[in-house]
Structure formats: C-alpha cells, structure tokens
C-alpha cells in the first residue's frame, strides 16, 4: 500500500525540523508563514529566534510593529509579518477559530497545515511539493492523517523534486505512474529572467532593512526605483511618512 510505504520511509528519513517537534498552533503558524517562498535552511534559525523572542500568539500581538518588521528582515514579503501579527492579535483576543481561514492573511493551504499539524485534523495541506507528488504518482489518498501530509511534503522536497526526481531513492516508485519517466522542461535562459536585484521587491527589502537598522536609505539605487518602492511600502502600511522622514510603524 502506497501510504504505508510512504509513512515507513518518513519515519526513517524525515528531517529533524523544529516545527515538527510541536503541536502548538502558534508555532506551526509561524513556521508555515516563514516557509512561504523561503528555503528551509534559512528559516530554521530565524524560526527558533522568533519563538524564543515571542513564544505565544499574545506575545507577538503585543509586540511593536517596528520590532516585528525588523525581526522579519531577510525573510522577504514583509507584509507576511504584519498579517501574522494581526492573526495573532485575533487569536489573543478570541482564541483559535474553528475556520482558520477567518484569520488575517491565512489562506486555504496555511489553514489546512495548522489544522492538520496542530489540531490533528484529517486535512491535506497541498503545497507545490505535495501537488507534484500526487500528480506524478496519480494517487488520491482516501484519508490524510497529519503524518501523511508531512510525509508527502518531505518526499516532494527531498526526493520527488521539481527538477531532479530521484526515482531510484523513492519509497513508492513501484507504485508510481511516473517512475523513471519524469521529464523536466529546460530552464529558461538566464538572459530572459529578471535578476532579483532588478526587482521592486528587492528595493523594498533594502528600504525596510535600512529603516530597521536606523540607517539612511540605501545608496546606489535609482531615485525612481527608490521612490516607487517607498510609495508601495507606505500604501501597504510597512513604512510611515512623518515630519522627521520615513520610519517603520510604531
């Protein structure tokens, strides 16, 4: 049975990640928000520092916005930090809702992940790794206990990878519709891809980083790009314009 083989493999090979050692919904929510488009290796030390500083939802809800944003620098998409703090403010006031999608910034995937890994619900959080595994194997699980969701994520992240499927190492290859036949589209030429340093998101990150450090705005960036980034940050509530200039929200 595919589920049994996958769970047995996961029991042997699962990476020891700090958020897998807890069922605390706040800690799991923090990890899921941090892991959005950020590599696990980068998240682990930041997650551990964050939980040590703000160990509960109430602690984060009471923290000044500027401190939260400063602690988020380098993780990207700073709005995630604001939405996380807002969600924790709701939890601190009202408790965890039955429908986690009612919390600020929490979509279907994050709600399913917290529901499964914190509350033990029979829900499958379908991220890109899980979707890839299900599509390649052609498998639709009849039941999805939390451990199965973790195992599918682990398989997609470490074996059934997007551009390097290690079918010879896969515990379910014998039952996989795509085993040995995974084809990967060639990467686009580097000249056709925008460098991250040329993106507005990169400039926004540099502005928030500078304000968090209490230094001047970054130099060497065209004024037009800098102004566009600052305008967007102000609109998003990540930066405040005051009589003394720009600052992070209080």
Query: Are residues 151 and 125 in contact, defined by beta-carbon separation less than 8 angstroms?
Result: no
Query: Quick one: which H or E segment has residue 241?
Result: strand 240-242
Which entry of 13, 32, 169, 197 is annotated as an active-site residue? 32
- Output the furthest CA–CA distance in the chain (Å, rounded): 67
Query: Quick one: which H or E segment has residue 192?
Result: none
Report how far residue 96's alpha carbon sits from residue 106's, in angstroms, rounded to the nearest whole number: 12
Q: How many residues does the chain have?
A: 250
- Identify the three-state secondary structure at position 245: strand
State how far the alpha carbon of 232 is from the alpha carbons of 47, 109, 112, 143, 236, in Å.
27, 27, 31, 44, 6
Report how far residue 83's alpha carbon sits from residue 91's, in angstroms, rounded to the nearest whole number: 12
Residues 65/70/76/80 CA torsion (nearest 10 deg): -20
State how far the alpha carbon of 171 is from the alpha carbons of 3, 139, 149, 165, in Å.
10, 14, 15, 12
Is 227 a catalytic site residue?
no
> Mind telling me the catalytic residues?
32
């Amino acid at each position: 049975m595919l589920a049994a083989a996958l769970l047995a493999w996961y029991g042997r090979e699962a990476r020891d990640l700090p958020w897998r050692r807890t069922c605390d919904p706040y800690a799991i929510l923090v990890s899921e928000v941090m892991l959005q488009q950020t590599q696990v290796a980068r998240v682990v030390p930041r997650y551990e520092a964050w939980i040590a500083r703000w160990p509960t939802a109430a602690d984060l809800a009471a923290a000044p916005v500027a401190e939260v944003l400063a602690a988020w620098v380098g993780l990207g998409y700073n709005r995630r930090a604001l939405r996380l703090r807002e969600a924790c403010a709701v939890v601190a006031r009202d408790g965890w809702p039955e429908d986690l999608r009612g919390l600020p910034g929490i979509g279907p995937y994050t709600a399913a992940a917290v529901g499964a890994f914190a509350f033990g619900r029979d829900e499958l959080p379908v991220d890109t790794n899980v979707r890839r595994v299900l599509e390649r194997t052609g498998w639709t699980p009849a039941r999805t206990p939390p451990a199965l969701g973790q195992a599918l994520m682990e398989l997609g992240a470490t074996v059934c990878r997007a551009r390097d499927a290690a079918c010879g190492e896969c515990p379910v290859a014998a039952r996989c519709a795509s085993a040995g036949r995974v084809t990967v589209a060639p990467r686009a030429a580097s000249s056709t891809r925008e460098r991250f340093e040329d993106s507005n998101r990169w400039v926004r990150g540099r502005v928030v980083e500078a304000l968090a450090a209490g230094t001047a705005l970054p130099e060497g960036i065209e004024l037009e790009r800098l102004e566009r980034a600052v305008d967007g940050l102000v609109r998003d509530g990540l930066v405040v314009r005051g009589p003394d200039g720009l600052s992070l929200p209080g």
